[in-house]
């Protein structure tokens, strides 16, 4: 059965959750940036299904929205219910994908633990405002010019000109302190997926022990090695075994 720290690592594998990192204001490679798109993942621990995760990106006029969810399945919910929802709102801007982060909100219920925090970004002033809706805590956070929320950065990295052996460094804010993260492009690997057998690019963010990438060995992500750069798998090691997010459905 999951301990609380292990389940936090499980939650970090919402490839919603999940998973990356990049400064939105940097130019991206000319690839097939797809909006709208919905990704659905099965979450498993040691091969045992424990829940589902979704990540969806849509446009609404001048704004773009990213919604990420994670839910425990029926058997796990008896012992430890998970109901997570995270939203990113961005300003669409020509030449910048997915856009400039305006607002980020994380609402999580995991067992008896809850989180409800919001960040308002003001990149022109080099500052963001953090608000904890449960405790009332408010914090002003200094941010570098090229900082965005973690889910917007996930979409951005998909369409970079990634090269094996070359790292990318990114600025991300998802809490009370901006982080500068190295993302390594490890290798190419053929993988059997719901989309067929495909060549993938394997990437890994180097992060500390806290936050959405927390896990004993960090998170490893597999993107299809084509213009679509679909995240088909993610994995993190926990105290016993590993947790895996596997793509089950994709729609445009």
Q: Is residue 178 part of a domain?
A: yes
Q: What is the pLDDT, as a whole number, of residue 229? A: 93
Domain containing 46: what range?
A: 4-247
CA distance 148 to 13: 20
Q: Is residue 214 part of a domain?
A: yes
Q: Is residue 167 part of a domain?
A: yes
What is the band of 150 on the pLDDT scale with cuts at 50, 70, 90? confident
pLDDT at 205 over 50: yes
For the chain, percent of residues with pLDDT exceeding 70? 82
pTM of the model: 0.84
pLDDT at 181 over 90: no
219 beta partners = 236
What is the band of 180 on the pLDDT scale with cuts at 50, 70, 90? confident
Q: Say how many C-beta atoms besides its own lie within 10 A of residue 9's C-beta.
A: 24
- Look at 168 and 139; give whichever has higher pLDDT: 139
What is the band of 212 on the pLDDT scale with cuts at 50, 70, 90? very low
13-49, pLDDT tens digit by residue? 443 344 443 334 444 444 568 899 999 999 998 889 9
Q: Is residue 252 part of a domain?
A: no
What lies within 8 Å, CB to CB, of 146 at 6+ separation is 23, 24, 25, 26, 171
CA distance 212 to 216: 12
Q: What is the pLDDT, as a whole number, of residue 92? A: 92
CB 72 within 8 A of CB 79: no
What is the band of 239 on the pLDDT scale with cuts at 50, 70, 90? low
Q: Is residue 171 part of a domain?
A: yes
Domain count along the chain: 1
Q: Is residue 173 part of a domain?
A: yes
State whether residue 53 is helix, strand or coil: strand
Q: Is residue 84 part of a domain?
A: yes
pLDDT at 118 over 80: yes
For the chain, percent of residues with pLDDT exceeding 90? 56
**DSSP state letters, 185-241:** EEEEEEEEETTEEEEEEEEEEE--SSSTT-STT-EEEEEESSTT--EEEEEEE-SSS
- Look at 76 and 25; give whichever has higher pLDDT: 76
Q: Is residue 87 part of a domain?
A: yes
Average pLDDT over residues 204-221: 60
Q: By C-alpha distance, which of 3, 6, 12 is closest to 213?
A: 12
Average pLDDT over residues 108-127: 92
- What is the average pLDDT score of the chain? 83
Q: What is the pLDDT, as a whole number, of residue 226? A: 93
């Amino acid at each position: 059965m999951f301990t609380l720290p292990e389940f936090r690592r499980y939650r970090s594998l919402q490839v919603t959750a999940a998973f990356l990192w990049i400064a939105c204001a940097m130019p991206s490679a000319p690839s097939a940036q797809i909006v709208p798109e919905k990704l659905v993942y099965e979450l498993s621990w040691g091969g045992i299904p424990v829940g589902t995760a979704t990540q969806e990106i849509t446009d609404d006029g001048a704004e773009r929205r990213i919604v990420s969810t994670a839910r425990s399945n029926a058997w796990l919910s008896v012992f430890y219910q998970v109901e997570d929802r995270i939203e990113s709102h961005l300003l669409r801007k020509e030449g910048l994908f997915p856009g400039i982060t305006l607002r980020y909100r994380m609402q999580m219920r995991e067992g008896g633990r809850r989180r409800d925090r919001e960040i308002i970004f003001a990149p022109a002033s080099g500052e963001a405002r953090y608000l904890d809706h449960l405790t009332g805590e408010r914090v002003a956070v200094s941010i570098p010019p090229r900082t965005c929320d973690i889910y917007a950065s996930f979409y951005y990295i998909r369409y970079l000109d990634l090269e094996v052996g070359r790292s990318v460094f990114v600025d991300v804010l998802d809490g009370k302190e901006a982080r500068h993260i190295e993302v390594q492009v490890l290798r190419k690997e053929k993988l059997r997926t719901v989309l067929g057998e495909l060549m993938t690019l394997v990437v890994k963010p180097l992060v500390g022990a806290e936050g959405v990438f927390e896990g004993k060995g960090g998170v490893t992500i597999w993107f299809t090695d084509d213009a679509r750069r679909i995240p088909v798998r993610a994995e993190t090691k926990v105290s016993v075994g590993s947790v895996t997010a596997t793509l089950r459905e994709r729609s445009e």
